[in-house]
Amino acid sequence: MENSIDGKVRLRFAPSPTGGLHLGGVRTVLFNYLFAKHHGGELILRIEDTDQTRFVPGAEKYILDTLHWCGIIPNESPLHGGAYGPYRQSERKALYTPYAQSLIEQGFAYYAFDTPEELEEKRKKVPNFQYSHKFRQEMRNSISLSENEVSNLLKNGTPYVIRIKMPQDEEIVFNDMIRGEVRFDVNTVDDKVLLKADGMPTYHLAVVVDDYLMKITHAFRGEEWLPSAPVHILLWKYLFGIEAMPLWAHLPLILKPEGTGKLSKRDGERLGFPVFAMDWTDPHSKETTVGFKEKGFLPEAFINFLAILGWNDGSQQEIFSVEELISKFDIERVHKSGARFDYEKAKWFNQEWIKRTDNTSLASLLQPFLEAANIEVHEPSYLVKVIGLVKERCHLLSDFITQSHFFFRAPTHIDIATILPKWDEKKQHFFDTLVEQSSQHINKGLSTLPVKTLEDNFKALATAQNIKTADLLLPLRIMLVGGKFGPGVFDIIESIEFSDATARIKYALQLISTK
């Protein structure tokens, strides 16, 4: 394969540890992962932490935990190690300076001594100021100053940054794997800082040097990085030769549900859905942003709907396992235009994956939700059985609680108001008889009966008392679970058994009698 090393593709996910991982970030790593695995290659996780001002403690661990939850295990990372480490850019600091120096020596970069105050001053004076060929001469740098002045400033230890010297009146062209040919007018790009005053590289220098040193063959990243591509292309050309540059794809944005504008954390808050992969607590504000995991998504569903955001295999198929995605993924089938995020559709994917997941696995995934709801499960097999009864109704793992809490404890609220308008003596008599029958079963030591028998007996009693079964089922359901929800009423009685069922019916009858 073109651009590969020894035939092996090497892709990287290069997040900056600045906070929770947004849907867009996870989709980026997913597409890199799918492509790498499709071609039998490797995925590298590189932490881009050169901007110390944006560094957030805990963010790196969060990224690793998220990848772990998603089942995307990098071959090389700060955690897994590898032959091209270290995998945190801050630990590679010393390595970038010689490249910046070499750019200066070749005349592709220059020292700039302007203080932050001087820059601020200039920005105030010149609207839309850009540090570029237009203003370089007016600033304090190794292009505008004499050689002597420059060497004195350097000798005196004057702080400086190194900037790229963008060429003038040139067009830069490259081939994006999704967008095809992309052209840039370099006159619109400023002389980006490559090395900062603290000796740290900026993203632009570090990303190019590391993609080279880590032998990256393909790099897929968010569309927001497209404007930086001309700077990176030039750095590749100047430092390593353009042939060595990875093949790039810039992934389209994930759009707001309305279809316009990038989906943001605020949209999630506004519309009540998660935007981060997992819960993220900001270490400064202590504010927690809810994640898909804690909201009750299965990783299989999360991966599946993310893959579909902007990609399809050309068929109508929507449900894909990760193995299928690996075998079918093709970066060239990713759409150029943004993909609208639809939370209802995401929940549909989750429901489909809940249906496909075996009940025992669901039982262990449900533990945190059961704990949060204070539901104690005495018998694991009972939980597995209940899951089987309600799973089809659940879009989220958290729905299990609303759909099944009454299997574990009597409802605290009974919607008597719905029963009362149609309540009459005949119904009262029917339920009194039902309680009597159940009590007799209990007295005989019979805890429960098969679902079908329960249903037949119920119908027989209704017929004997000349009442329509249909009119009895809703009150019965409300007495058992509290409201108009839950699986089949006879399934519920069979599971909670005569003792609980009878107690609940008796309690509801008592409430009715006081109204």
**Least distance in Å: CB of 345 to ligand GLU?**
26
- Please say whether the dihedral angle defined by the alpha carbons of residues 127, 128, 133 and 139, taken in this order, is positive or negative: positive
Is 61 a catalytic site residue? no
Nearest to 193 by CA among 107, 123, 131: 131
Report whether 112 contacts 71 (CB < 8 A).
no
Alpha helix stretches (DSSP H) within 311-366: 322-328, 343-356, 359-365
What DSSP state is assigned to residue 216? -
Alpha helix stretches (DSSP H) within 240-287: 265-271
**Least distance in Å: CB of 35 to ligand GLU?**
14
Closer to ligand GLU at the Cβ: 44 or 145?
44
**Least distance in Å: CB of 346 to ligand GLU?**
23
Nearest to 308 by CA among 21, 38, 34: 34
Report whether 213 contacts 89 (CB < 8 A).
no
The residue behind tokens 């995605």 is: 325
Closer to ligand GLU at the Cβ: 51 or 65?
51
**Least distance in Å: CB of 239 to ligand GLU?**
16
Closer to ligand GLU at the Cβ: 265 or 345?
265
Closer to ligand GLU at the Cβ: 28 or 448?
28
Nearest to 354 by CA among 315, 398, 324: 398
State the Cα–Cα distance between residues 453 and 422, nearest whole angstrom: 27
Q: Token pair for residue 96?
A: 């970038």
- E strand intervals along 385-439: none
State the Cα–Cα distance between residues 479 and 336, nearest whole angstrom: 55
Closer to ligand GLU at the Cβ: 216 or 383?
216
Q: Token pair for residue 344?
A: 């209802």
**Least distance in Å: CB of 25 to ligand GLU?**
7
Interface residues with ligand GLU (CB under 6 A) are 14-16, 48, 203, 207, 221, 225
Positions marked catalytic: 265
